[in-house]
Structure 1
Amino acid sequence: MEGQDIGTTLTELLAAATDTATQIGEMVTTPGWRQYQILILLGLVALSYVLRFVTSAPLERWIRAGEGWQKWQLRLLVQLLRRLPLVYFVMLCWPLYWVMQEVTWPSRSYLIGIAATLATAWFAVGFISRLVPNQTLRRVFSWTLLTYATLLALNLAEPAAEFLDGIAVGIGTFQVSILTVLKALLLIAILLTVARLGTRAAAAGLHRNEDISPSMRVLTIKAIQVLFYGIVVLVGIRALGFDLTGLALISGAVGVGIGFGLQKVVSNLVSGIIILLDRSIKPGDVISLGETFGWINSLGARYVSVITRDGKEYLIPNEDLITSQVVNWTHSDDYVRLDIYFGASYHDDPHKVRRLAIEAAKGVKRVLVQPNAPVCHIVGFGDSSVDYILRFWISDPTAGLTNIRGNVYLALWDTFHEHGISIPFPQREVRLVGGAQSDGTAPQG
C-alpha cells in the first residue's frame, strides 16, 4: 500500500510540475499580458543592476566614512551591499505590483506578484540564515526555506509535502519520513539560532553586571547554555517522533555502564562546579600549581586555562585544582609581597645599607609605596657578608614577578655602586701542606 501511495503522490506531483512548466511555456510563447509581464520583469532586473552600478560606490564611501559603527551594523550593511540588485528588484517590483492591481485586472500582474514574493523570500532567508552558527545547518535552513517558498508561490507545496511524507523508513512501530526529517532539521536550526542568540545576550548582560562575581558569571552562563541546548536536543528528538519515555529507560541503563569509564570526566565536571561555587579561583587570578605560574584565562567545564609569562597555555584539569595545593596570589586582593636577599661588606654601615636599599626599591616602577612601603632587615652575619632581606609590595602580579625582582636587583646595584657599598663574594685560600716538588708532584711520604 505504501508503494502505491508513493507512486500516486509522485504521479500527482509530476503532473502538477508538468502543468506548471506548460503554463510557463505558454506564457513565454503566447503574446499577451503574460508575455508583457515577463518583459516587465526582465526590465526590472536590468534596471536593478543599473542602479547597483550607479549607487554601490557612493554607498561604500558612506560606510567607510561613518564612525561609531557597531559590528552588527557593519555586517548588516555588507550583506546589503552584496545583495543590492535583489534589494532594488524588490523595491521596484512591489510598488509596480500594487499599482497594477489597482489600475488593471489582477491577472495582468500575477507573474509580477510571484516574482516579488520569491525575491522577498530569498532576500529574507539570506539574512536570517546568517544567524545560524553551523554551516551545514545554515545550508539546510536556507535551501529548505527557499524551496518551500518557491513551491508555495507556484502552488506545489501540498503535492510536494505529500510526496515527501510518503517516503518513510519503518523500524517496528516507529516510522520516519523525509518530510519529518526536513521539518526536524529546520526546527533544530531555528532553535539553535535562538539558543545561540539567547546565550550571547545573557552572557553580555551578566558581564556588564558588576554585582556578580566572575566565577558566578561563568557558572550562570554555563547553566544557561546547558538549559538552552538541552531543550534543543529534547525538542529535536521529539520532532523526529522518538518516544522520550523509552529513551529515558535505555539511557539510564547505558549511563550506568558509561559512568564507570568516565569517572575522571565526571570528577572534573563536578570539580569545575565546586570551583565556580566556592569562588576559590576566578578568571584573572594569578596562581601557582607545581612548576606552573600564570593567570587564569578561562574556566571550562573540564579544565582551567592558565597562561604563563612565556605565552604557554596550560589546560589544568579541575580535579587537580581541588586535590592539589594551589597558591592563589590574588584570591583576596591583588597585593603581593616579594622578598629578595643580598649581602653587603662588614666594612659598610648597616644603617646606611638599609636606607639605601629602601630608597632604591622605592624608585622602581611597580613597587608600591602606599599602603605598604618597602622595608629592609638584617637576617644574619654570613661568612663573607652581612645578610639582608628587602621586602616590597606590588599590585599587578599578572605583569610578572621575575622581571620586577630583576629591576629591584639592578636598582640596588646602581645605588650601591654610586655610594660605595661593596657586595662581597666568598673567597677561599688554598694552602699546600709540606710544600711541593719541583716537578709539581706531591712529596713522597
Structure 2
Amino acid sequence: MAMGWLLSPAAWSQFGILVGAYLLAVVITRRVKPTLHRVIDPGDKQNLFTSSRLFVLQFLPLVLPLLAYVLTGIGEQIVRSIFDSGAVIAFGKRVFMFLAARIFVRDILTDPFLKLLGRFILLPIAGLYALGMLDLVTLKLTETVVGVGNIRFSLISIVRGVIAGSILFWLGQWSNSQTSALIEKQEMRPSLRQLLIKVVEFMIFGAAFLILMNVMGINLGALAVLGGAIGVGLGFGLQKIASNFISGVILLVEGQATVGDYVELDGGEAGTIVKMTARAAILETYDGRWIVVPNEDFITTRVVNYSDSGSANRYEAEFSVSYDTDINLVPDIIEAAVAKHPEVLDLPYPPDCELRGFGDSGIDFAVEFWVNGIDDGPNKYTSDVLFLIWNALRDNDIVIPYPQRVVEIKGGLPVADAS
C-alpha cells in the first residue's frame, strides 16, 4: 500500500493538497484570529453579553485545525472527482480533527472532571477516528453481547453508558449548583428554600438516571419488576430511614427548625443546626462538637427553638447588696446601667430589677433582660450585664456583701494558768 501511494499521482496530489490546505489555514488564521479576538473580547465593558463573549473567546485556538479540516474537505471533493480516490487526504482530514480534539482538551477545558473525561474518553475516540478504526471497533463492541439475568446488552451499550453517565453526572452537578444558587437568592423561608433545593436535586438526578437507562438500551420494565422486589425486601428493614426522610420533609415544609437555629431537644441535645440532610440534622455545640440527630426526634419529642424568627430570649443576672444599703435606690440604678448595653432590648420588656429575698449576708436582687440570641458561644450577655452591675454599684458606693459569721463562746474564754 505504501509503495502504491509513493508511485501514485493521486496520492501525491492528495498530499500536496493536504499540505496546501494546512498552509492556507495557517495564513488565514494569522490574519483572521486577531480580528476575531478584537471583535469578541469585551474588554472592560460589562453588559448582558459579556459572559457569552468570554465563553466564545476561549474557543479561538480551534480556528486553525477546524479551518484546515474544512479546507481539506473541499480538497477531498476535488480529488475524488478527478481521481476517484481520496484515502490520503481523508486521513489528513481526520488527523486535523484529532488535533482539534487535543487542543480542546488541553487548552479549553478547565473543569478537572471534564478534562479527565476528555483525556481518557474523547482523545481515544478521536485517535481511533483518525486511524480509521472507529467503525471497526464500534462494530466489534456492538456484536459482543453480555447478559445479567433477563437483561442483555452489548458492550457498546456499556461504553455509551460510561460516556453518557459521566456527562450526565457532571451536568447534574452543574445544573444542581446553578439552581441552588438561584433559589438561595429568592425571598422565602429558609426551610422552604431547603425543600425546593432538595426537590430540584432529586428531579435532576432522577431524570439523568432515566436518560442513562435509555441511552444504554436497558428495558425499564425489567428494572421495575426487579426494583419492586428489592423495594418490598428493603421496606421492612428501612422503616426508620423512611420515617426520618418523611420527618425531614415535614420539617422543611413547616419550618419549625431550620439551618442556623439554636435548638434543645428533650434528650438533652442542644446546638446550632448547621446542616439538614434527608435522614438527620447536624447540631454544632458551642464547644465544637457535632451531634447527629435523626429527623424523627424533631417530630416525636419536645423541641425548644431559641432562634425562632421574631422571638427574643430572656435572661437574668443575680446579685446582692449589703443590709446598710437603701434598697429603694437599687432598681433604678441597675435598670439604667443594664439598659446601656447595646444588645439589651426595650421590647418586649425593658430591664427589670426585682427584689428576690433577704439572705444571710445581704439582700438578694436579680435583673431580668431580653436579647436576641443565645447567651453562649460568641455572645456572653450575662457576663457583660454583671460587669455593668458591678460598676454601677461601685459608682454609687453600694457595697456587695460577703459572708460574715458571729461566733459566741459560752462560758467565756478559758483563762490561762498563771503558774
TM-score by length of 1: 0.72
- Cα-to-partner distance string for 1:26-60 (whole Å, 9 max, x where unaligned): 99xx9776278569969999xx9xxxxxxxxxxxx
- Cα-to-partner distance string for 1:66-98 (whole Å, 9 max, x where unaligned): 899xxx98xx89x96xxxxx964x333445566
Secondary structure at the aligned position of 1:350 is classed as coil
Alignment of 1:41-440 (within 5 A): 88=61, 90-95=62-67, 113-124=93-104, 135=113, 139-140=116-117, 142-171=119-148, 174-210=151-187, 212-289=188-265, 291-369=268-346, 372-397=349-374, 400=377, 403-430=380-407
The answer as to whether partners of 1:87 and 1:123 remain within 8 angstroms in 2 is no
Cα gap change, 1:356 to 1:36, in 2 (>3 Å):
same
The answer as to whether partners of 2:280 and 2:294 remain within 8 angstroms in 1 is yes
Secondary structure at the aligned position of 2:179 is classed as helix
Tell me the number of residue pairs that the alignment of Structure 1 and Structure 2 aligns: 393
Q: CA deviation at 1:409?
A: 0.6
Secondary structure at the aligned position of 2:142 is classed as helix
The answer as to whether partners of 2:375 and 2:382 remain within 8 angstroms in 1 is no
One-letter identity of the residue aligned with 1:198: S
Secondary structure at the aligned position of 1:397 is classed as coil
**Percent of aligned pairs sharing the same letter:** 28
What residue number does 1:57 align with?
none
What residue number does 1:12 align with?
none
The answer as to whether partners of 1:303 and 1:316 remain within 8 angstroms in 2 is yes
One-letter identity of the residue aligned with 1:375: D
Secondary structure at the aligned position of 2:323 is classed as coil
The answer as to whether partners of 2:259 and 2:273 remain within 8 angstroms in 1 is yes
What residue number does 2:15 align with?
34
Answer 1 or 2: which has greater helix percent. Answer: 1
Q: CA deviation at 1:102?
A: 7.4
Gap regions ≥5 residues in structure 1: 1-18, 49-61, 81-85, 440-445
One-letter identity of the residue aligned with 1:377: E
The answer as to whether partners of 1:346 and 1:385 remain within 8 angstroms in 2 is yes
* Distance in 1 separating the partners of 2:199 and 2:258: 17
Q: CA deviation at 1:355?
A: 1.6
Q: CA deviation at 1:308?
A: 2.7
Q: CA deviation at 1:172?
A: 5.8
One-letter identity of the residue aligned with 1:217: R
Cα gap change, 1:222 to 1:25, in 2 (>3 Å):
farther
Secondary structure at the aligned position of 2:243 is classed as helix
Q: CA deviation at 1:127?
A: 7.9
Cα gap change, 1:100 to 1:126, in 2 (>3 Å):
closer
Q: CA deviation at 1:214?
A: 0.8
Secondary structure at the aligned position of 2:284 is classed as strand
The answer as to whether partners of 2:179 and 2:197 remain within 8 angstroms in 1 is yes
What residue number does 2:33 align with?
none
TM-score by length of 2: 0.76
* Distance in 2 separating the partners of 1:259 and 1:417: 69
Q: CA deviation at 1:341?
A: 1.7
Gap regions ≥5 residues in structure 2: 30-40, 80-87
Cα gap change, 1:329 to 1:246, in 2 (>3 Å):
same
* Distance in 1 separating the partners of 2:161 and 2:70: 37
Q: CA deviation at 1:273?
A: 1.2
The answer as to whether partners of 1:288 and 1:327 remain within 8 angstroms in 2 is yes
What residue number does 1:9 align with?
none
